[in-house]
C-alpha cells in the first residue's frame, strides 16, 4: 500500500505545545516589565512571533558575552542582540530561554552572575511545537483543502466539520474552477504542495471526478488527495477509479468501526493501480484498526477564551481551507455557519477570519495571513478539547460541542 509522503509527514509530526506550559508562559510575562529572549535561534524567532501577537514587548535577544562578537548584525527580527553584560539589570526583568536545553545551565549561570534571577524554561518539545505552529509556510509546505460537500452519510458525533448537522451542500464546479485559477496565480503553476478534496463526504458529489480532473489540470505537480469514509467506494463506477489513477490522486480512507469490506476496497485500488492510504486516529494506520475515538472540539459560546490559545490548536495554520473565494486558516472558521444555523447560535465570523483570495496578489500575502490567528479563536475552548471515548454516531445535540 502506497502513501503520499508529504501528507504522511504532516499527519505524523504535527506538534502542539502543552496548554499548561503556554498558561505558565502567559503568567510569567504578566509578572515581567522588561522581557528578553535568551538565545538567537529558529525557536527564539517563533517565540518572538507568538509574543508579538499577544502584544508582549520583547526588549532584545540576549547571548553570552563570549558569543556576542559572532553576530555580524546588531539586530535580528527587528530587535537588538545584546550580551549579558550589556543588558540593564532592572526590577521585574525576565528571560525566556529560547536555546536548546543542553545550554540551559550555562545560560542561567551567566545570567545569575549578572544579577538576573527570573527565567522561563521551555521543554524542547514545546519549543519545537511553537516553531511548528508559528512557522510561515513555504510553497513546498503549504497544504490546503476544499470541501466539495458539507453533508455526510456517516454522521459522526462531534464532527469538526459539523457534517452531521449540515443540510445538503454541493460545491459549484464553476466556482471551484474560478477559485483554483486564482490560487494558481498566487501559488504558481508548479505549486509542489498538497491539495485535498474533502467534505462532508466528497463521494456524494455527482461531479466528484470533474473536481479531481480539474484540480490536477490546474496543479500538475501538487500532491493531490481525496478523503473519504469509504461507504460509497464499492458502489461507485469504475470511471472514478480510472480518474484517480490518471490524475495520480491519492485516495485516503479514514477508518471507522462500520464493517466496511476493506479487503475488497484494497483489491479495487490495486486493480486500478490507485494510491490508497488508510488513516486512523494517530495517523496512517492498518485496516484492522477497528477502534476509533470521539474527540470534542469544545466551543465557548460567550467568545471569552484567551486569545493566545491558538498556539495549542491542532487546526491553526494546519487545516487551511478554501471556500468560495475565501481562505481560512482552519476548517472550523470556514464551516461554523453550519453550527450557527442548526442550533440558532451567532458565533461571529468577521473579515479578520478569512482572506479574500481575489484581493491577494502573492503567495507571501497568503502565507502571512494563514499564520495569523483568526478572531474566531476566542470561541474555541482549546483547553477543554478531549477524547470522550469510543466513536459513535451523532445525536445532533449541542452538548456535543459545549460543556
Is position 248 within any domain? yes
Same domain, 42 and 161: no
pLDDT attached to residue 291: 63
* pLDDT string in tens for the chain (403-residue length): 344 445 544 454 578 999 999 999 999 999 999 999 999 999 999 999 999 999 999 999 999 999 999 999 999 999 999 999 999 999 999 999 999 999 999 999 999 999 999 999 999 999 999 999 999 999 999 999 999 999 999 999 999 999 999 999 999 999 999 999 999 999 999 999 999 999 999 999 999 999 999 999 999 999 999 999 999 999 999 999 999 999 999 999 998 989 899 999 999 999 999 999 988 755 555 555 556 889 999 999 999 999 899 999 999 999 999 999 999 999 999 999 999 999 999 998 999 999 999 999 999 999 999 999 999 999 999 999 999 988 999 999 999 999 9
Same domain, 24 and 166: no
Separation between Cα atoms, residue 171 and residue 169, nearest integer Å? 6
Return the closest-CA partner of residue 369 out of 332, 337, 326.
Answer: 326
State whether 332 and 192 are in the same domain: yes
> Are residue 159 and residue 308 in the same domain, yes or no?
yes
Whether residue 171 sits in one domain with residue 48: no
Last residue of a domain, one of 79, 100, 122: 122
What's the rounded Cα separation, in Å, for the pair 150 and 167? 8
Does 27 share its domain with 159?
no
Structural domain boundaries, residue 85: 19-122
Let me know whether 194 and 265 are in one domain: yes
In-domain check, residue 7: no
Does 143 share its domain with 100?
Answer: no
Q: Are residues 143 and 112 in the same domain?
A: no
CATH code at 47?
A: 3.40.50.20
| Contact between 176 and 148 (Cβ < 8 Å) | yes
The cell numbers describing 206, all together, are 455527482
Instruction: Specify whether 347 is located in the same domain as 381.
Output: yes
Residue 128 lies in a domain: no
- Which pLDDT does position 379 carry in this prediction? 97
Contact predicate 254/266, CB 8 Å: no
Q: Residue 13 domain-assigned?
A: no
What is the model's pLDDT at position 278?
A: 86
In a domain, 395, yes or no: yes
Cell matching residue 378: 476566542
Residues 323 and 361 placed together within one structural domain of the fold: yes
* Strands lying side by side in the sheet with 283-284: 283-284, 276-280, 249-254, 223-228, 194-198, 143-147, 321-323, 326-328, 355-356
Long-range own/partner contacts, residues 273-276 (CB < 8 A, 24 or more apart): 273/245, 274/241, 274/244, 274/245, 275/2, 275/3, 275/4, 275/244, 275/248, 275/249, 275/250, 275/251, 276/1, 276/2, 276/250, 276/251
Domain boundary, last residue among 93, 122, 151: 122
Strands (E), 44-117: 60-63, 75-76, 79-83, 93-97
Of 50, 111, 52, the residue nearest 83 (C-alpha): 111
Query: What is the rounded distance in angstroms from the CA atom of residue 114 to the CA atom of residue 108?
Result: 10
Q: Is residue 192 part of a domain?
A: yes
What are φ and ψ of residue 180, in 5° steps? -70, -35
Count: domains in the chain: 2
- CATH of residue 280: 3.20.20.70
Q: Is residue 267 part of a domain?
A: yes
Give the C-alpha separation, 177 to 191, whole Å: 16
Residue 48 CB contacts under 8 Å (≥ 6 apart), including other chains: 37, 58, 77, 79
Q: What is the pLDDT of residue 289?
A: 53
Q: Are residues 241 and 206 in the same domain?
A: yes
- The verdict on residue 379 lying in a domain is yes
The pTM (predicted TM-score) of the whole model is 0.92
Domain boundary at 75, 94, 122, which? 122
Residue written as grid cell 474527540: 295
Q: Name the nearest CA neighbour of 184 among 226, 225, 139.
A: 139
Amino acid at each position: 500500500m502506497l502513501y503520499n509522503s508529504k501528507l504522511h509527514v504532516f499527519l505524523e509530526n504535527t506538534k502542539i505545545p502543552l496548554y499548561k506550559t503556554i498558561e505558565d508562559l502567559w503568567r510569567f510575562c504578566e509578572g515581567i516589565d522588561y522581557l528578553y529572549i535568551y538565545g538567537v535561534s529558529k525557536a527564539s524567532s517563533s517565540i518572538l512571533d507568538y509574543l508579538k501577537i499577544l502584544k508582549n514587548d520583547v526588549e532584545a535577544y540576549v547571548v553570552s558575552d563570549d558569543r556576542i562578537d559572532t553576530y555580524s548584525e546588531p539586530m535580528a527580527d527587528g530587535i537588538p542582540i545584546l550580551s549579558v553584560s550589556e543588558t540593564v539589570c532592572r526590577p521585574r526583568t525576565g528571560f525566556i530561554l529560547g536555546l536548546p536545553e543542553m545550554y540551559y545551565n550555562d545560560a542561567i549561570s551567566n545570567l545569575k552572575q549578572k544579577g538576573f534571577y527570573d527565567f522561563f524554561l521551555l521543554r524542547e518539545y514545546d519549543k519545537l511545537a511553537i516553531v511548528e505552529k508559528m512557522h510561515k509556510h513555504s510553497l513546498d509546505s503549504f497544504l490546503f483543502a476544499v470541501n466539495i460537500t458539507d453533508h455526510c452519510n456517516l454522521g459522526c458525533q462531534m464532527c469538526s466539520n459539523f457534517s452531521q448537522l449540515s443540510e445538503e451542500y454541493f460545491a459549484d464546479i464553476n466556482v471551484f474552477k474560478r477559485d483554483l485559477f486564482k490560487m494558481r496565480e498566487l501559488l504558481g503553476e508548479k505549486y509542489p504542495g498538497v491539495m485535498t478534496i474533502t467534505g462532508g463526504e466528497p463521494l456524494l458529489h455527482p461531479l466528484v471526478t470533474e473536481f479531481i480532473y480539474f484540480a490536477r489540470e490546474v496543479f500538475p505537480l501538487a500532491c493531490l488527495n481525496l478523503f473519504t469514509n469509504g461507504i460509497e467506494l464499492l458502489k461507485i463506477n469504475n470511471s472514478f477509479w480510472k480518474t484517480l489513477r490518471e490524475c495520480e490522486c491519492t485516495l485516503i480512507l479514514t477508518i471507522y468501526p462500520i464493517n466496511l469490506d476493506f479487503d475488497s476496497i484494497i483489491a479495487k485500488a490495486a486493480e486500478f493501480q490507485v494510491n490508497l492510504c488508510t488513516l486512523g486516529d494517530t495517523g496512517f494506520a492498518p485496516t484492522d484498526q477497528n477502534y476509533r475515538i470521539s474527540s470534542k472540539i469544545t466551543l465557548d459560546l460567550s467568545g471569552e477564551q484567551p486569545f493566545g490559545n491558538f498556539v495549542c490548536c491542532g487546526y491553526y495554520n494546519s487545516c487551511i481551507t478554501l471556500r468560495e473565494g475565501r481562505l481560512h486558516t482552519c476548517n472550523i472558521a470556514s464551516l461554523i455557519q453550519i453550527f450557527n444555523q442548526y442550533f440558532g447560535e451567532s458565533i461571529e465570523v468577521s473579515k479578520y477570519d478569512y482572506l479574500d483570495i481575489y484581493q491577494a496578489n502573492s503567495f507571501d500575502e497568503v502565507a502571512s495571513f494563514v499564520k495569523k490567528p483568526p478572531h474566531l479563536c476566542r470561541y474555541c475552548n482549546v483547553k477543554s478539547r478531549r477524547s470522550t471515548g469510543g466513536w459513535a454516531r451523532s445525536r445532533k445535540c449541542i452538548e456535543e460541542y459545549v460543556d
